[in-house]
A and B are shown apart, each in its own frame.
Chain A
Amino acid sequence: MTPPGLLGAALLFWGWQTGFLAVGVVMAALVEGRHLVRSRWDLSRTDFNRVSDLSAVLLVLIAIYQFVGTDAARAVLAILEWLPLTVLPLVTCQLYSTAGVVDLSIFFWSLRRRANEHPEEPGWPIDLTYPYVALALLSASAANVRTGAFFAGVVALAGWALWSARPRRYPAAVWIATLAVAVALGWAGHVGIAAAQRAMERVAQSWLLNLIRRDTDPFKSSTALGEIGEVKLSPRILLRVESANGTRPPALLREASYNVYNAPTWYAVDAAFISVSPEADGATWKLGPPVPERGRVTVAAYLRRGKGVLPAPSGARQLDNLLVVELAKNPLGSVRVDEGLGLVRYAAHFGDGTADGPPRTLDLVVPRNEQAAVERAAAQLGLAGKTPEQAVIAVRAWFSSHFRYARFLGARPQGVSPLEDFFFRTRAGHCEYFATGTVLLLRAAGIPARYAIGYAVHEWSPLEGRWVVRANDAHAWTLAWVGGAWREIDTTPGEWISAERETASFWTPLGDLWSWATYLFSRWRWSEREDRLAGSIGWLLVPLIALLAWRLYRRRRVATGAARGAAATAPPPRPGDDSAFYLVERRLAQLAFPRAPGESLVRWLARVESARPPAVTTAALPALLALHYRYRFDPAGLGAAELTELDTGAREWVAAHDMGGPDMAPQAHQARGATPPSDSPGQRS
């Protein structure tokens, strides 16, 4: 068993490090309360098994909670942080049980079965307190606060634990010096390891930097232009869209737009992000000067690690109810969250036009290696000399009448760019071909144009009662500067939607159901601020703890004392309990001769006699004690005359020692008053 206070201190340290100090204080009070509460529960092996199962359920719940809400790496750390809470029921039961230990079998089904089959075999009793202290330290480390306080705390707690188990053969100074050396080595070691890790990370970073790309990059969009084979995207639901009073939401939600094409990638050049300040309520973000509102749409999107680009209608000027910490936008209309929760749900207000920056010369550039093909196509369409509106109509008509949507593309002839092949030979492709082609054709006609990516909103989910957007609804289209504003032009043939639908698998409805459940859970999980999470987990525990408390309450509680093991059953009868000799004992105890619990009366009296107290005459006591012993311990008992002799002798002695001084008189009366049976010494049970 750990020394008193260590367990509580470890839990407080855990609470402090992980930021759950309030929870830590409650837990510490619970485990240290065992020194104040005298009663213990008489728990059987089955009870311990139940509590162990409860802990396991708790762990699973916390694991589900974490894995559904966040990514795996963070979830593992969070579960580790919460482990002391998971194991707390077990430790509490150990501390408040008469056994004082738990059996190893509670952790293993195989051992439980064995224990059931052979109940007579001794178990493997283990003390959970020291492992629990270690666990609290480990969990505190998961918080990773990276201050010296953590190291100091670990050293202090470990030192405390070791101090109580130190070998007594060596002087304390030697022990302290050894510990100091170990601490110094530990400090130097972990600093060195951290330095080595940093150096290795620097080397590895340069190798890996260009290998990994994920999520929407507002600066660069690699297209699948020129790739051979089928473009496949998953039907996973990414966004949920709700429009005010049931109107149809905007067909396109834009994530980013780009201005420079260098096959096969679009880049956003000269588009630095500037951070946006929220309005006073902290949840309203203005993206541009207000214009007459044309509509409002509510979007729910997941963020990975609290970061991501927000999809919104191109004309969005204001985002409401967006609970994020840092938001930034770029002149090409991308809105990026730099710090937020796992799920954001925001209302986007949009009007005509966009808040994007005005066209620049970059928006008119046709890359040199595509120039020939684009000019040939432009000539074919007769774009030269047309007004921007006419040019847009011509391009749109050309694509819709001569082109078809295709996800599968075969090999193309040598030395032909993918775009040229698309324009003149295959006349089939996916949205990236159409969007890129449109941008470049419009630029060739002198119309500033940009390449935009995002999602198409077209699917109403009867299950959820809102619009849903899947990963395969990802789309690319064109923004063209026509009539003094950026207009969205989508030249991809409308059949692409039904073509993508065909890819839906048999299992998609099942996946949707799961996705919906996850979404509901995530909404609940992220609906409040992080600091309220501890509270919501706590509410989850209330029914479990109540069940446990109820089960424990029904257990028979037994009293504890110096000999807890001996008190497991009712004490034997105490014949002769009314002996008048106890008056003598009390009187002598008041005269500074209290009897120790393990000291028999004979030894105690010998001690009193050897001390030769001046105010006490002990001559009569041995005879009285002999009578008392016969009265108490001889099953044959005392005769009536002997009993009277004991009673009168003891009372006389007490009376004779009642005159010790004015301050002793009331104590003596008190002593007599505290012995109710002394008035009727003859009655024996």
Chain B
Amino acid sequence: MSAGPARDVAARIAANLATVMQGQTLAIRRLLAAFASGGHVLLEDYPGTGKTTLAKALARSIGATFKRIQFTPDLLPSDILGVSIYDQRDQTFRFYEGPIFTNVLLADEINRASPRTQSALLEAMGEGQVTVDGTSYRLHDPFFVIATQNPVEFRGTYPLPEAQMDRFALQFGLGYVEPQEEVAILTAQERHHPLEDLGPVASVDDVARLRAAVRDVRVSDELRRYVVDVVRATRTAPGVQLGASPRASLALMAGAQALALLDGQAFVGPEHVQEIAGPVIAHRLAVDPQARFAGLTGVAVVEEIVKTVPVPA
């Protein structure tokens, strides 16, 4: 698929999502950027802002399977991956697939599960396959994880360590919508949820072609260098304990390519890098405890870097 039809696919999905997610154009754009570039998304926002709806709507839009796992402290890795059970009739072990065998997976409140369970999911995200009892099983394609975290509640949670945060291509929040849009949401859901009306606008094959088209978006050497400069700058930024990894550079470039495709552009512009830099990099930074206490956040660090690193023009 060339850039034109691929862009149409993305536009159709975006329009479809917009019917159920009023006033969330930016979040939809970011979600699609991650989806099209093959990365996973961590949503960090308050309860009731539409995280689940967004994930469900995406799954419906592409006619893909959708599963949701509510993470709890007693959740076990086998609850996610699946389990082998001895079949007395066949006298063999039979593998029962867990909820991870799906196209779109919503990992709700991922920080409530124990680190062991978290890492089971995150490894699957990184490898695209799971191994149970020595046998590897490929996950479905496309496989897209939307994990959510509640930023206010910390009691009984296991915050994701930096290494695991690194596995998410993007992290962003949805935020509260404008009052008139919230009224529109009320109106739309008066009789039934608009999600129920949502039909597929693209096929799973379309998604595969969309992803291939993203990889075809051209990037100049100069902008590749700019991507690296921005990511490298996080490693020496004041108040940052641990800067972003080369994986962040990869995610930043792929995200910028996806944004360029969404904009109908065959090549990446510097704005695309700047636009996606915050969601791609900020969550990977370990901010110095003292600096964090003084009010410094990863987002502020990235914003400052984007402002100071000379952008190609």
- Is the Cβ of B313 less than 8 Å from the Cβ of A634? no
Indicate the size class of the contact surface on chain A: 20 to 34
A167 to B290, CA, bound (A): 9
A565 to B225, CA, bound (A): 12
- 29 A-B residue pairs with Cβ-Cβ distance under 8 Å, sorted by A, are A168-B294, A168-B295, A563-B229, A563-B308, A563-B310, A565-B233, A566-B309, A572-B221, A573-B221, A573-B222, A575-B220, A585-B313, A595-B313, A597-B309, A598-B274, A598-B307, A599-B311, A600-B269, A600-B271, A601-B270, A601-B313, A602-B271, A604-B313, A632-B220, A632-B222, A634-B266, A634-B267, A635-B220, A636-B266
Q: Mark A553-573, 1 if CB is under 8 A from B, else 0.
A: 000000001110110000111
A168 to B222, CA, bound (A): 38
Verify if B145 is at the interface (C-beta below 8 Å from A).
no
Verify if B48 is at the interface (C-beta below 8 Å from A).
no
Contacts A572-B225, A574-B222 known; list 12 others, CB within 8 Å: A169-B295, A562-B308, A563-B229, A563-B309, A598-B308, A598-B310, A600-B269, A602-B270, A632-B222, A633-B223, A634-B220, A635-B219
Verify if B57 is at the interface (C-beta below 8 Å from A).
no
Number of interface residues of B (CB under 8 A): 31
A575 to B220, CA, bound (A): 9
Residues of chain B in range 216-243 having any CB-CB distance to chain A below 8 Å: 218-225, 229, 232-233, 235-236
Q: Tell me the minimal C-beta distance from B15 to chain A in angstroms.
A: 24
Verify if A629 is at the interface (C-beta below 8 Å from B).
yes
- Is the Cβ of B266 less than 8 Å from the Cβ of A633? no
The total of Cβ contacts below 8 Å across the A-B interface reads: 90
Given A563-B308, A566-B229, A566-B309: A169 in contact with B269 (beta carbons within 8 A): no
A-B pairs, 4 with minimum CB distance: A634-B267, A598-B307, A566-B229, A597-B310
Verify if B312 is at the interface (C-beta below 8 Å from A).
yes
- Is the Cβ of A602 less than 8 Å from the Cβ of B269? yes
Verify if B268 is at the interface (C-beta below 8 Å from A).
yes
Q: Tell me the minimal C-beta distance from B282 to chain A in angstroms.
A: 16
Write out the residue numbers on chain A whose beta carbons fall within 8 Å of the beta carbon of B294. Answer: 167-169
Residues of chain A in range 13-34 having any CB-CB distance to chain B below 8 Å: none
- Is the Cβ of A630 less than 8 Å from the Cβ of B311? no
Q: Which residue of B lies closest to A168 (CB)?
A: B294
Verify if B306 is at the interface (C-beta below 8 Å from A).
yes
- Is the Cβ of B222 less than 8 Å from the Cβ of A565? no
Write out the residue numbers on chain B whose beta carbons fall within 8 Å of the beta carbon of A562. Answer: 308-310
A601 to B313, CA, bound (A): 6
Verify if A35 is at the interface (C-beta below 8 Å from B).
no
Verify if A213 is at the interface (C-beta below 8 Å from B).
no
Write out the residue numbers on chain B whose beta carbons fall within 8 Å of the beta carbon of A294. Answer: none
- Is the Cβ of B311 less than 8 Å from the Cβ of A635? no
Q: Tell me the minimal C-beta distance from B236 to chain A in angstroms.
A: 5
- Is the Cβ of B307 less than 8 Å from the Cβ of A596? yes
A669 to B221, CA, bound (A): 33
Verify if A603 is at the interface (C-beta below 8 Å from B).
yes
- Is the Cβ of B274 less than 8 Å from the Cβ of A600? yes
Tell me which of B225, B266, B309, B312 contacts A632 (CB under 8 A).
B312
Given A168-B294, A572-B222, A634-B220: A600 in contact with B270 (beta carbons within 8 A): yes
A148 to B309, CA, bound (A): 47
Given A635-B218, A635-B220: A597 in contact with B311 (beta carbons within 8 A): yes
Q: Mark B198-231, 1 if CB is under 8 A from A, else 0.
A: 0000000000000000000011111111000100
Residues of chain B in range 263-313 having any CB-CB distance to chain A below 8 Å: 266-271, 274, 293-295, 306-313
A266 to B220, CA, bound (A): 100
A632 to B309, CA, bound (A): 18
Write out the residue numbers on chain B whose beta carbons fall within 8 Å of the beta carbon of A635. Answer: 218-220, 267
- Is the Cβ of B312 less than 8 Å from the Cβ of A574? yes
Write out the residue numbers on chain B whose beta carbons fall within 8 Å of the beta carbon of A573. Answer: 221-222
Given A572-B221, A572-B222, A573-B221: A636 in contact with B308 (beta carbons within 8 A): no
A603 to B219, CA, bound (A): 20
Write out the residue numbers on chain B whose beta carbons fall within 8 Å of the beta carbon of A167. Answer: 293-294
Q: Tell me the minimal C-beta distance from B176 to chain A in angstroms.
A: 26
A596 to B311, CA, bound (A): 9
- Is the Cβ of B220 less than 8 Å from the Cβ of A565? no
Given A574-B222, A575-B222, A634-B218: A565 in contact with B232 (beta carbons within 8 A): yes
Write out the residue numbers on chain B whose beta carbons fall within 8 Å of the beta carbon of A603. Answer: 271, 274
Write out the residue numbers on chain A whose beta carbons fall within 8 Å of the beta carbon of B269. Answer: 600, 602, 629, 633
